[in-house]
Amino acid sequence: MLDFGKQNILGVGINAVDYEAAVEKIISAARDKHSFAVSALAVHGVMTGATDSIHRHRLNGLDLVVPDGQPVKWALNWLYRIKLPDRVYGPNLTLKVCERAAKEGLSIYLYGSQPEVLEKFEANLKKKFPSLVIAGGQPSRYRQVTADEQAETAETIRKSGASIVLVGLGCPRQETWIFENRKLLSMPLLAVGAAFDFHAGTVSQAPVWMQNRGLEWLFRFVQEPKRLWKRYVYLNPLYLLFLALQMAKLRTKTLEDTVSPPSQMRFG
């Protein structure tokens, strides 16, 4: 189990952990019924915080932010000489958490995405982990919600008896959601994004060799160029530039260099 604490990558706090440490933290919080906000950030996720001081405040207010992308893991190793052997990939973390939850009798709740994706995701999880209890699920409204709707959703999740909530709203909406709901729900909230589509079988994952070489972005870009071109063509080079500047100590933002959100966004 490896846990080198939270480290600064472009002003965003990333926990330098391995899968074992991440799963243990999540399961422990679920057992103790403690609020515990978790996200898995690749380059795009890190850059949503690096370029926006308000969203950076949200990210740095989460309890556990794992290095989802290889370039984020490499940055941790280069800057802090940590030598993490692997990233903590959100879709894999999802399965590892579900496996432990099934063994320990901890139920999960699925929040976000579309009804047909939730249905397939749930069916595939039950097939893979027959003893896993899925307490319920709710698709995204794909809009901002009212305070009453937010409270209603939190109450529905509490009444379901769920121990862990998997959240798939896409980055950065899902990180905003878990930040805003972490005090309403005494359980781990995991922002795992594409894991819903991957494990539902509605979107293909990159081959392992591409994942290992940090080329997953290219695979996804070829699949959805119109939707993802800005994310990868603009943000990937900017990430490398910012990282080079941080390594040269020419651009270093502290984890406290943030701006509090003026009001809740209440994405649903």
pLDDT tens digits along 113-133: 999 999 999 999 999 999 999
Q: Domain tally for the chain?
A: 1
| Residue 221, in any domain of the structure | no
| Residue 225, in any domain of the structure | no
| Residue 267, in any domain of the structure | no
Range of the domain at 141: 3-203+234-247
| Residue 266, in any domain of the structure | no
| Residue 146, in any domain of the structure | yes
Q: Is residue 163 within 8 Å of 155, Cβ to Cβ?
A: no
| Residue 11, in any domain of the structure | yes
Find all residues with CB under 8 Å of 61, minimum gap 6, and list them: 37, 179
| Residue 219, in any domain of the structure | no
The helix or strand, by DSSP H or E, that contains position 166, with its residue range, turns out to be: strand 164-168
Residue 65 has pLDDT above 90, yes or no: yes
* Full-model pTM: 0.92
Residue 58 has pLDDT above 90, yes or no: yes
* Residue 31 vs residues 4, 28, 58, 199, 214: alpha-carbon distances, Å: 23, 5, 25, 25, 34
Mean pLDDT of the chain: 91
Find all residues with CB under 8 Å of 29, minimum gap 6, and list them: 35, 36, 63, 187, 188
Find all residues with CB under 8 Å of 51, minimum gap 6, and list them: 238
| Residue 262, in any domain of the structure | no
> In angstroms, rounded to a whole number, what is the distance separating the alpha carbons of residues 149 and 180?
13
